[in-house]
Amino acid sequence: MAIPDDVLLEIKYKNDIESIISPYVTLKRAGRNLKGLCPFHNEKTPSFTVYPENGSFYCFGCGAGGDIFTFTRLIENLDYIEAVRLLAERSGVNIPEGDYDNSIFNLKKKIYEINKEAARFYHAYLMSENGKWALDYLLGRGLTIQTIKHFGLGAAPSGWTTLTDYLTKKGYSVFELEQANISSKSSKTGKYFDRFRGRVMFPVIDIRGNVIAFSGRANPAEKDAAKYINSADTPVYKKSRNLFGINFAKNNCAERIILVEGNMDVISLHQAGFDNTVAPLGTAFTEEQAKLLSRYTKEIVVTLDSDTAGQKAVMRALETMKNSGMPIRVLVLPECKDPDEYIKKNGAARFKMLLDGAVSEIEYRLLRAADDIDLNEDNAKIKYLKKAAEILANTDSITSDFYASKLSEKYGVSKSTIVSEISRLRTKNFKTEQKKEIKQVINPKISQKEVNPERRLNVKAAAAEENLISVLMQHPDLYNEIDKLIKPEDMVTTLNREVFAAISELIKNNNMVDISLLGERFTPEQIGYIVSLQNSVNAGINAKKVINDCIAVILKERMLISGTKDENLSIEEWHTKIQNIINSKMGE
């Protein structure tokens, strides 16, 4: 049994779409609608549109679209039932019990509870006599008790089943503990044991304040142990989509966010007053993390460790963020391995000066291009200038012109020569991209993410189907007229057949079209597609003529595919025949 329509509509009416989206996207009025930068892909020009009149949103850049339920699913990484329940709780709407699948929702709820209990257990152990070794370590790293409590830091006992036993006594099953990655199952004995043992514990907290995972640092006395062990992905946690410290930083980073390498760097900087600092969680910086940051800040300053591995990580992070649409700068730490060490040696004020002087992404790339090159030799200078031209060939003309002037002054090479080399490389890059595009046109690949892959094979029919669905959604009063002429089974493409049937059913049962009643039936990607049809401008003018023309095209294409065309008729005669069929139906 699905969630009743009246319950879904009540939730929708108590959660207007602007109030749901505005915490994540800065929206500006654009006529009757609202616009902002899309939170689901990186862009510089706003293409994300909110339609308050029908409670929908659509991004013309990436195709994401839907209603409050779809947005919540996508932004919070939830399934349909979870999104409905979350919005229902926010608005005080009770969802009646039914036979819809609650298993995933209930498991996630249990994992959140387990993680919260585990975090309390670890913190209590840290503050006990047995956890003194871990507390001494944290105090020795310069953290205050206040900071330790603020981040909820803890310690895991060295016993094999201490936490597992504690949580099972509280009523949690070993299956639930394993799903939370708090306990692991021995492949030899089949018994369960604690995932983290004898470690300083850092709880990972999401933007909603839920404990979703843990990072454990080895006891400094254990020299052979892996330095850090992190939670594996679970139903509530994906390391590539979360950041350590984001729960605090999200409220303090409107102008700038600082990206560092490790948990201790985050905590140390927060303690020093830089509470706009975050770190990846044991992985390289990802596009999902870049998108997450783009929701909250105008600029990212990358401040990773100064060793070789750290600098390689900087370059990877810059590549990941290059299409983020945000200014990116890099802070180079002089004579210190990481921000934690720098602040301890030089203080917060010096770090602030260093932060304000962070170089731009292009300047950093140009600095790195000089690595392992002796710029005192003429041949080496030429080699460097060629590498610099390659970097500038991927920038806009104003940026490349500015740095071409600086390089000309510094290395005694005419600016025109540098600009000429940049232009040559740009042309080369353009031709390479053009070849890729031509290859894609000649050998198109249908992506699994493509919403209606059959469209490529039935372009005319699909376009007509889309326009007809748009008319039906915008003019449900014309349903009876359309129903006389065409049925869902007449549609050529499967998705449009299903959408047309669903919209028709809504009109028959509810005398209305509301996409909030389709969320359980279609994927978020398909809902985005439906919203694009709902808000299409093609159906707004002369709707009856659009209906007539679209149905003629659909029936003609259907006859072509089914092989029922009369070969003795010309195309014109054939089209007239179909039109006569339509006209006769309209006269019934």
Structural domain spans, the chain: 5-91, 102-237, 239-369, 372-442, 453-586
pLDDT category, 574, cuts 50, 70, 90?
low
pLDDT at 259 over 50: yes
pLDDT at 177 over 50: yes
pLDDT category, 42, cuts 50, 70, 90?
confident
Distance of CA 404 to the CA centre of its chain: 36
Superfamily in which the 5-91 domain is placed by CATH: Zinc finger, CHC2-typedomain (3.90.580.10)
CATH topology of domain 102-237: DNA primase DNAg catalytic core, N-terminal domain (3.90.980)
Q: Amino acid identity, residue 184?
A: S
Q: How big, in percent rounded to 5, are the helix, strand and coil portions of the chain?
A: 55, 10, 35
Position 584 scores a pLDDT of 65
Q: Which residue has the tokens 């934690």?
A: 340
Q: Amino acid identity, residue 362?
A: I
Position 576 scores a pLDDT of 65
Distance of CA 110 to the CA centre of its chain: 25
CATH topology of domain 453-586: DNAb Helicase; Chain A (1.10.860)
pLDDT tens readout for residues 132-161: 999 999 999 999 999 999 999 999 999 999
Read off the tokens for 465: 């189907």
Position 39 scores a pLDDT of 87
pTM here? Answer: 0.71
**Nearest alpha carbon to residue 204 among 274, 279, 270, 146:** 279
* CA–CA separation, 315 and 302 (whole Å): 10
Q: Which residue has the higher pLDDT, 351 or 484?
A: 351
* CA–CA separation, 151 and 215 (whole Å): 12
- Classify residue 537 by its DSSP letter: S
Position 234 scores a pLDDT of 93
SS3 category, 120:
helix
Q: Which residue has the higher pLDDT, 580 or 299?
A: 299
**Sequential DSSP letters for 231-276:** PPPBTTB-GGG--BTHHHHTTS-SS-EEE-SSHHHHHHHHHTT--S
pLDDT at 99 over 60: no
Least confident of 156-160, 290-294, 303-307, 556-560: 303-307
Contact (Cβ atoms closer than 8 angstroms) between residue 429 and residue 389: no
Position 558 scores a pLDDT of 77
pLDDT at 445 over 50: no
- Listed in order, strand segments (DSSP E) in 102-209 are 154-156, 183-185, 192-194, 199-205
* CA–CA separation, 503 and 483 (whole Å): 12
Position 267 scores a pLDDT of 96
Contact (Cβ atoms closer than 8 angstroms) between residue 375 and residue 385: no
Mean pLDDT of 278-298: 84
Q: Which residue has the higher pLDDT, 451 or 499?
A: 499
Mean pLDDT of 345-357: 91
Position 582 scores a pLDDT of 61
* CA–CA separation, 545 and 207 (whole Å): 50
Least confident of 149-153, 197-201, 486-490, 557-561: 557-561
Arithmetic mean of pLDDT over the chain: 86
Mean pLDDT of 216-221: 90
Residue 466 phi, psi (nearest 5): -60, -45
Q: Amino acid identity, residue 291?
A: K
Position 98 scores a pLDDT of 65
Q: Which CATH architecture has domain 239-369?
A: 3-Layer(aba) Sandwich (3.40)
* CA–CA separation, 527 and 270 (whole Å): 41
Radius of gyration of the chain (CA): 30
pLDDT category, 441, cuts 50, 70, 90?
very low
**Sequential DSSP letters for 318-360:** HHHHTTSSS-EEEPPPTT-SSHHHHHHHH-HHHHHHHHHTPEE
pLDDT category, 504, cuts 50, 70, 90?
very high
* CA–CA separation, 460 and 136 (whole Å): 72
Position 274 scores a pLDDT of 95
Read off the tokens for 58: 């659509």
